[in-house]
Amino acid sequence: MLDRAEPNLLRQDFPYSRIPPIRFEAEAVALALPSDIWITDTTFRDGQQARAPYTVEQIVHLYDLLNQLGGPVIRQTEFFAYTAVDREAIAACQPRSGPEVTTWMRASLEDLPSVQATGVKETGILVSASDYHIYLKMNRTRRQAADDYARVVSSVIDAGVRPRVHLEDLTRADLDGFVAPLVTSLQELGRKAGVPVKFRLCDTMGFGLPWPEAALPRGVPRLVRFFAESLGVAPEHLEWHGHNDFHRGEVNTVAAWLYGCAAANGSFFGFGERTGNPPLEALIIDHAGLRGETPGVDTTAITRAATYFRDQLGTPLPANYPFAGAGFNVTSAGIHADGLLKNEEIYNIFDTARILDRPLGITVNDRSGLAGIAYWVNTTLGLKGAAQVRKDDARVGAIHREVERQYQAGRSTGFSPDEMQALATLHFGNALATTTRS
């Protein structure tokens, strides 16, 4: 191990006073998608670092939603084990059908008794990897930190618990001078005990880059291959944990899968420290894209989870949030509505009614035009085939003129469903009722 008196802060990559430069190598890394890839969850650990704590009842409900959503794909979820509420939540979820319950602890022997008391078979261990943390936060040398980490990992193994080493701030770490000898020594501890040591590759500040030419330590493909090829860590013992500080949380995680990391860590709707973690629902969709639809995975649980966050947890998602926001597949543009009248595939990402239990929607405003109003009437009232109204229908024109009149008079909001229903009833009258019944 290359111990140092002063930290190596990799200033060529992280100048701090400027946006970090993106560096590339001439050679790209080759794809190495493992034969089996899966998802792990941090909703109850990292996810709770970004919001008010969940109650035990809420945790149990979210755990059941995890099971509905992920089936055999979401395989583990992690909890804190510090408080009585934490341990009560763990005890409540352990007997239920769903992901394996694991815990998280600091690299401190003081935390081990709480973990042992839960009866879990695996725990994450916070192992800071960069000199930013070792020297500036922990006020230690590399050798001191490595000795402490080895002591804790060894004790966890002796306690009969599988260790999952969380290499914090890995994308700012000295890989050759510290990470490689540390990982090698921890692997040797595991080999002697007959217990494989897992490694969670933590992009704590979101510095990771998804491109196969991106240079170390930030290049996710090259970093995963470093662990697989240089350090000999098997894909099933590698897990990626990303953050979204640079809008790359999800794409970096998929890159980790593609280049040899079997497990991808995320949280419901991306809730996590600062900018959050990769969203579980996005990982589920990308997993299906890579592997096809998996029996036991229920993507409509995404919609149920979004409803629960909004109605029970008081945490509505932004309207344009992909897959789950109130308006993610709702259009107000007339040109889009015109396409949807012809065929919904023109402006819908996939069959959202089947896959997410979210039919297409329309909000009528000053941009909707005749097509938008016709589409609203047809979709809201369930008109199909020959029963559908066209945008050149005189009654659609009458509604459109009223919409235009209100905006010309100074209106600035979209028309609510109740307002549109009243206008449709006014202009279609009995003909609408008859059409709807048929």
pTM of the full structure:
0.89
What domains sit in the chain, N to C, each tagged with a CATH number? Answer: 38-311 (3.20.20.70), 330-437 (no CATH)
**What are the tens digits of pLDDT across the range 392-426?**
999 999 999 999 999 999 988 888 878 888 898 89
What pLDDT, on a 0 to 100 scale, did the predictor assign at position 356?
96
Q: Is 308 left (phi over 0), alpha (psi -120 to 50) or beta?
A: alpha
> Which are the contacts of 279, defined by CB distance < 8 A and separation ≥ 6?
250, 266, 267, 268, 269, 270
The answer to whether 189 touches 150, Cβ cutoff 8 Å, is yes
What pLDDT, on a 0 to 100 scale, did the predictor assign at position 420?
84
Q: Is the pLDDT of residue 435 over 60?
A: no
**What are the tens digits of pLDDT across the range 110-123?**
999 999 999 999 99
What pLDDT, on a 0 to 100 scale, did the predictor assign at position 434?
45
CA distances (Å), origin 36, targets 149, 215, 238, 395: 30, 26, 12, 56
Q: How confident is the model at residue 190 (pLDDT cuts 50, 70, 90)?
A: very high
Percent of the chain with pLDDT over 90: 79
Q: Which residue is listed with tokens 């905006």? A: 407
155/172 Cα distance (integer angstroms): 28
Q: Is the pLDDT of residue 380 over 80?
A: no
Q: Is the pLDDT of residue 438 over 60?
A: no
